[in-house]
Every structure is written in structure tokens, then in C-alpha cells.
Amino acid sequence: VNEAIEVTLARWKARIDGELARVASNGIALPESLRDAVHYSLTGDGKRIRGLLVMASYDALGGTRDASQLAAAVEIVHAYSLVHDDLPCMDNDSLRRGRPTTHRAYGVAAATIAGVAMVALAVTQTVRAAESLGLAPATSRKLVMVLMQASGATGMVGGQLMDLENEGKVVSVEQLEAVHRAKTGALIAASLTMGGLAAGGSKQAVDDLARAGESLGLAFQIHDDVLDATSSSETLGKTAGIDAALSKSTYASTLGVDAARQKGDKLVADAMGSLKAAGLHNGPLMELARFVAARQS
Ligand code: IPE
Ligand code: IPE
Ligand code: MG
Ligand code: MG
Ligand code: MG
């Protein structure tokens, strides 16, 4: 790996972490349990892949300002999705980012409400980020639309419901792909789209980013399934083997681990190929794409 790219990504991640910590500390007027549950959920030790994809796409389309506020908006939605994903009525998980899940630490009611509060927080964060990047109101509106459409019933939330409804069932690989594209792919594609929009990219360039993002997003969840089946809770910082325990259909259970890995690798290679063909092959974006199916946690 190119050292300069590693340094850039580490610098960007530190900025996203700093922004999340700042947002997390702003809930002074909130009731204590809600404030603490939001703070805990936002400041957990995540990889910040989605935020980094926002910053890399912004950079790839010629953006020159600090897009970490916008990156944090996507990470706020993602962090909320994890809080709810772990709830007893969903995956009923107790370990996340190397610590007890939010509902284990603060109770189910505080975690549920904290999650919903974070959706609202993500919208205000997006509008503020657009303002600080000096973007026109029309661009700000598009950013909110892209983020909320990826988060809602036709994206992440809808995918999460299908995921739960499929527990204990044998589903086809086509159905599984639809679930994965919705529950995880949509928000990852939105990350690239938002970075491109914020940079003022052409419709063509933003569409190219979105399409690559869809492939990367599907690959990301396929690899998550593989890691669940092959790694340890200690390495992942979350409960390994929980998919089998919950009788989830995953790429690992449906295709087998090796074929799932190959499918993920191919999707990443295709995405990298189309980014290259579109002239969008800046170092950080390519490195993040490579990381999607090469990561160990
Ligand atoms: C986990 O996402 C949930 C999925 C959509 C697979 P990440 O693997 O990006 O989790 P963090 O943010 O690094 O904790
Ligand atoms: C969750 O998929 C996807 C989300 C939208 C949160 P998983 O349930 O596999 O995510 P992990 O493995 O708990 O992080
Ligand atoms: Mg889940
Ligand atoms: Mg889960
Ligand atoms: Mg998983």
C-alpha cells in the first residue's frame, strides 16, 4: 500500500472522528440517559468507511475543502443503524465495536430513542455541512434526499426488515442480493454519490460513482457475511457466528465461503475497473475499494 495514501486516509479518519466527537458532545440540553446513549453510539471505534468514501469521492471529483462534516452525517446514520440492528427485536446482539451494545449499556428504551434521535441529527448535520462547504441550497437539498432515500424504506430500513423476515427461511441468491443491496449497499452507494455531489461533479461522474458504490456496497455485506462465518468475536469486535445462530441466510451459508469470497472480489474488481474507466481512480478511493473485500474486521 502506498504510504502517502495511508497517511491521507488516517488524517481523514481523524477528522471524521473529531467531528463525531464534537456532535456527540453537543446534546447538553438532552436528558442524561439519551445524551449518554447518543454519545456512546457515535464515538464507538468504527472503521468510518462510509465517511471516508464521502471524502474520497469528494476529492476524486476535485473537491478542495474539508468534507469531514458531511462524512460524519453518513456515519451518524450508520451508527444509528447499528444501534437498532443490535436491539433484542432485531439481531439481539451484545457486542459492538469491542464494547457492550448501546442497549446493553443504557437499556432498550434509551437505545431505541437514541437511534431515532440520530436520524434527525444526521439531517441537520447534512444541511450544516453543505452550508460550511459553501454549497447552493439545491445541492444541500439533493444531499439530504440522497441520504434519506438510502436510509429509508427503499434502502437500509427496508433491507433490515427483509433480513429479519428471512430468518429461518431458505432464500434464493437473488433475494439475498436484494436484501444486501438495500440494507448495506444503499448507504455505501449514497456515500460516494454525496461526495460527488458536494464536489459539484457532472451528472455522468456522480452516476459513475453511484454505480461503483452499489457494487462496493454489495461486496461489503458479502464480506461481512464471510467474516461472520470465519473470524472471531475478538477480531471483529462484534459477535462472530451470530448469523448461523439466528438462522440467517447469508452469502456464506448460501454459496459457501469460498464462492462468496470470489463474488465479493469480483464485485470490487468490477467497481475499480469502472472507476478507472471513468477517470475516477484517485488513490484514496481505489484504496478504500480494495479494502472492502480485503479487510479482516
Ligand atoms: C457493519 O458495518 C454493519 C454492516 C453494514 C455490515 P462496518 O463494518 O462498517 O462497522 P463499523 O462502522 O466499522 O463498526
Ligand atoms: C447489518 O447487517 C446491516 C445494517 C444495516 C446495520 P448485519 O446484521 O450483518 O451487521 P453486523 O454484522 O451486525 O454488523
Ligand atoms: Mg442484522
Ligand atoms: Mg447484526
Ligand atoms: Mg454481519
Query: What is the model's pTM?
Result: 0.98
Q: Is the pLDDT of residue 3 over 90?
A: no
How confident is residue 282, by pLDDT bands cut at 50, 70 and 90? confident
Q: Is the pLDDT of residue 146 over 70?
A: yes
The per-residue pLDDT for range 34-89, each reduced to its tens digit, is 999 999 999 999 999 999 999 999 999 999 999 999 999 999 999 999 999 999 99
What is the position in ligand 1's atom list of the atom closest to the CA of 47? 13
What is residue 57's predicted lDDT score, i.e. its pLDDT?
Answer: 98
Instruction: State the average pLDDT over residues 136-152.
Output: 98
What is the position in ligand 2's atom list of the atom closest to the CA of 160? 5
What stretch of H or E contains 99?
strand 99-100
* Average pLDDT across the chain, whole number: 97
What is the position in ligand 2's atom list of the atom closest to the CA of 78? 6
Instruction: State the average pLDDT over residues 254-270.
Output: 98
Q: Is the pLDDT of residue 281 over 80?
A: no
Q: Is the pLDDT of residue 134 over 70?
A: yes
Distance from residue 226's CA to the centre of ligand 3 (Å): 14
What is residue 29's predicted lDDT score, i.e. its pLDDT?
Answer: 87
* Alpha-helical runs (H) found in the chain: 3-24, 32-42, 49-60, 68-85, 102-106, 108-132, 137-151, 156-165, 173-180, 186-198, 203-230, 233-236, 242-245, 251-255, 257-277, 283-294
CB 110 less than 6 A from any atom of ligand 2: no
Q: Is the pLDDT of residue 1 over 70?
A: no
Distance from residue 124's CA to the centre of ligand 4 (Å): 27
CB 99 less than 6 A from any atom of ligand 1: no
Distance CA 211, CA 188 (A): 11
What is residue 189's predicted lDDT score, i.e. its pLDDT?
Answer: 98
CB 154 within 8 A of CB 175: no
What is the position in ligand 1's atom list of the atom closest to the CA of 238? 14
Instruction: State the average pLDDT over residues 216-221.
Output: 98
Q: What percent of the chain has pLDDT over 70?
A: 100
CB 97 less than 6 A from any atom of ligand 1: yes
The per-residue pLDDT for range 12-34, each reduced to its tens digit, is 999 999 999 999 999 888 899 99
CB 216 less than 6 A from any atom of ligand 2: no
| Protein residue with least CA distance to atom 10, ligand 1 | 46
Distance of CA 191 to the CA centre of its chain: 8
Closest ligand to the CA of 41: 1
The letter for the amino acid at 71 is A
What is residue 168's predicted lDDT score, i.e. its pLDDT?
Answer: 98
CB 187 less than 6 A from any atom of ligand 2: no
What is residue 126's predicted lDDT score, i.e. its pLDDT?
Answer: 98
